[in-house]
Chains A and B, each alone.
Chain A
Amino acid sequence: MHGRLKVRTTAEQQEIKAKERAKKLVMYKTAMNLIFSKRKSGELDDEILKMTGQVLTENPDISTLWNIRKETILKTKETMPDRVDDYVSNELALTEQCIRVNPKSYNSWFHRSWILDQVSIVDFKNEFLLCDKCLELDERNFHCWDYRRIIVQKSKTSLENELEFSTNKIKKNFSNYSSWHYRSELLPRIYPSSSDQSILDDQKLAEECNLIQNAIFTDPNDQSAWFYQRWLLFNSDEKSLKNSSLLSTLNNELESCQQLHDLEPDNKWVKLQVCELLRRINGLGNETEILQLIQQLIKVDPLRQGYYTYLGSKIVEENQKKKISESS
């Protein structure tokens, strides 16, 4: 055929792949047999590390192999303590490779965390870099977030640094539940209210409310934003509401939510939030309006009719109790 490329057909491609797979299977079986026989005879040496390493690189989820490695490292600590650092470097390199292959492998992350405990000096900068990279690939990888929490604790990194990290993450993509969640863990520890440790101080609360409003207005369908706002506003108990600044914050948020509601009358999240705000501010006084919204919610989101009905009746019950306690 003049002027045309010759290309391997799909059948030819598949045959090549099948041959490769068969080869790999034989190698795997041989390696596993050898590993287990060595372990049985107590040969926890460089060779067993090499072999388990080869298998784990292809398939990081074989827990037993990681445990064999742990056993080997512990043995090295006893018999050759001055060489432990080299071995630890190898473990770090291996776990990093395995994390590349499967960023959600429990074993890889756990092993890495375990390894950090085996040495006194850790290069935390590197650990943070690894975390950053993984999060860039998948912002919601909870393994990575958990690991980050571990290294923050171990390295005694300042919480303010971590807050800045979460701010940068949110600036890049505000649709990230994990980033907001992380933020909610950090803020009360950095900016607690002087009167009540469990809530944020007034100024910080106002800033965060403003921040989350940007998210809500940009995309009212983004769940993570609504959840964060709920945490900001509804975290405190009844007593704190006596605090007039919190009450005025809630009123401000109500006004802004109502503006959004006007623009997006069919959006269930806004409606629900307006409901909850009315309830917190003055559940009894706003009961009529609340129940009207409940009816609208049922129309707009019929799949959750059960929940909205339940919510409505719960609010009515609360109000009954209030009426009783007020009159007594």
Chain B
Amino acid sequence: MTDDIPSPCDLLVIGTGLTESIVASAASRIGKQVVHVDHRDFYGSNWATFSFNNLHNVLGVNKGLTECIEETKKETYSIHIGLNSNTVLNVVEKWFISDEDVEATIDNQLRIEETNNGILKQTWTKSEVLKHSRKFNFDLSPKLLYSKGEMVEVLISSGICRYAEFKNVSSIYTYDNVESGLLPVPCSRADIFNSKDITMIEKRLLMKILSMCVEYETKPEKFQEDEMGNFGNFLDAHKIQGKVRKYLIDSVAMAKESTNFQDAVKNIQKFVRSIGRYGNTPFLWTLYGSGELPQCFCRCSAVFGGVYCLKRSTRSIIIGSDGQATGIMCDNQNLKAKFILIEDSLNPLATIKSGISRAILVTNKALTSNDQAVLINLPSLNGKEPVRILELSASTMACPQGLYVVHLITRQVTTAIEDLREVIDTFFSAVESNENEALHKPQIIWSLHFNINEYESYADMLPLNLYSSPGPNSSMDFDNHVIQARNIFKSMFPDEDFLPRVPDPEDVILEGSAEEVVLQESLENQEVHNVHE
């Protein structure tokens, strides 16, 4: 392609992660000319979803290009983009099944065994798994959507939802230390009614707390000052213990004992509000992985005129004499823009704030009898961080039939391997043995551990028209990112609507269509009339 990227433009976006893609689509939507580049050859940045083969292409390989010192003109200077910096680190990959024996016959590639119960069981070999590479969709940053959360509302109002498909998270579990087992979390009223795990009185208490939290703003008088320190105190004041306390902290509020009361209440409200909209739990999962969403927003931007260029490396940002960014050097082209938005992992003025510890496992059995998309919230114990597990079956398009993809997410303390070792050992088995069957533990076929850095940058350190776009954090949902994208957009274009409602396609009059011709003619006739007058 010898085509040049248009310049100047209104907004230049560097990186195709979620937050910056939302901003790009919002800007295109209101008629701004957007140019969106990424040095990678795939969309999604640190939010991307990969097949097995693509994952290998990406990890461990530094896609950065060498920094290039540009000649600086008088009165300008450049900030060099360090594409060498790794945001995804401490990558450890491990196979738990044997390599295909090169001399084995083709028949042996798929060994089908009968277990004692006469159930056919498929044994997977490494090459068999890789043969189905395309059927795997591994997320770097898997996240859920609250059915009545910011992301869903924005997807609906902008019409972007038609670019993707979603599935309900079928059930939510927490962990019962006492009985050492997974405990299903009742989400809806019907769940609470039907639950055999809690007593009548516990049901009443649970409902009572949920109603109180939902009505928090309208009936503040029901809350005492002293209850509202942290969430743990609040629950103590209302004598909430045992399983109900667990449900509320681990799963409904998705919090810790020490979480600020207001934050916990907000999450509870979102949880309760979202139940029943699309299914029994408040959450949706994106089919084919969370990496679909940045692509959806990018397409929306393209539909409204955004220009898209992958495999274009931004080497430096050029600052003018007035301290404003004027543009970038992208490969050998100087691209000018009024506003520049750069993903924070590429922002040379951003610093590492914290990290996320991640593991992706491919297993041969579901942890629960529920076979679709399951969320397990493991409570924080002994001051450790809560760990969240997302188990995905083939019906979510995460893997081939018969296998499961398990994501583990927690805040980084040491490294992913260390942070997640205990949880993985508790629930999964690495070695196939009879003991394994007796314990019903799923067996791990393959695992990948890695860490993702979280960055922060201070707006006052940047030129006014240069913005940093936040990468993925450790929360389980997207809402913060939608809010951040909206804030960035509003800062750039304060008087404009953020992803306004899309008109009904049947009400759109297309350029050149018969209707437009009639409209044009009637306008012309009016003009003629006016002249006569």
- Residues of A bordering B, CB below 8 Å: 2-8, 13, 171-175, 213-215, 217-220, 256, 259-260, 263-264
Contacts and interface: CB of A to CB of B under 8 A. Distances in A.
Given A171-B193, A171-B194, A214-B200, 9 more contacts: A5-B508, A6-B508, A6-B516, A7-B509, A8-B507, A13-B507, A218-B207, A259-B201, A263-B208
25 contacts: A3-B304, A5-B503, A5-B508, A7-B503, A13-B507, A171-B190, A171-B193, A171-B194, A172-B190, A173-B189, A174-B190, A175-B189, A214-B200, A215-B193, A217-B200, A217-B204, A218-B189, A218-B203, A218-B204, A219-B207, A256-B200, A259-B201, A263-B204, A263-B205, A263-B208
A214 B507 CA distance: 51
B220 interface: no
Nearest to A259: B201
B92 to A, nearest CB: 45
Given A2-B31, A5-B508, A260 B204 contact: yes
A218 B193 contact: yes
Q: Is the interface of B mostly helix, strand, loop or mixed?
A: helix
A264 B207 CA distance: 12
B509 A218 contact: no
B516 to A, nearest CB: 7
Q: Pick the most buried of A6, A13, A171, A264: most chain B CB atoms within 10 A of its CB.
A: A6
Contacts of A256: 200
Nearest to B516: A6
Q: Which bucket holds chain B's interface residue count?
A: 20 to 34
A8 B204 contact: no
A7 B190 CA distance: 44
A327 B201 CA distance: 43
A121 B305 CA distance: 63
Contacts of A259: 200-201
Contacts of B31: 2-4
B309 interface: no
A8 B207 contact: no
Contacts of B204: 217-218, 220, 260, 263-264
Contacts of A219: 189, 207
B367 interface: no
Interface in B22-48: 31
Closest 8 CB pairs of A and B: A3-B31, A217-B200, A6-B509, A7-B503, A8-B507, A217-B204, A218-B193, A217-B203
Nearest to B31: A3
Contacts of B152: none
Nearest to B507: A8
Nearest to A7: B503
Interface string B487-514: 0000000000000000100011111000
A310 to B, nearest CB: 30
B190 A173 contact: yes
A213 B200 CA distance: 7
Nearest to A175: B189
A173 B189 CA distance: 8
A263 B193 CA distance: 17
Nearest to B280: A172
B37 to A, nearest CB: 20
A7 B203 contact: no
Contacts of A172: 190
B192 interface: yes
Nearest to A263: B204
B200 A7 contact: no
Interface in B358-411: none
Contacts of B509: 6-8
Contacts of B189: 173-175, 218-219
A146 to B, nearest CB: 25
A213 B208 CA distance: 16
A310 B519 CA distance: 73
Interface in B512-528: 516, 519
Contacts of B507: 7-8, 13
A6 B503 CA distance: 9
A147 B509 CA distance: 48
Contacts of B192: 218
Contacts of B519: 6
Nearest to A4: B31
Contacts of B201: 217, 259, 263
Contacts of A173: 189-190
B428 to A, nearest CB: 33
Contacts of A264: 204
B106 to A, nearest CB: 48
Q: Pick the most buried of B207, B305, B510: most chain A CB atoms within 10 A of its CB.
A: B207
B193 A174 contact: yes
Contacts of A3: 31, 304-305
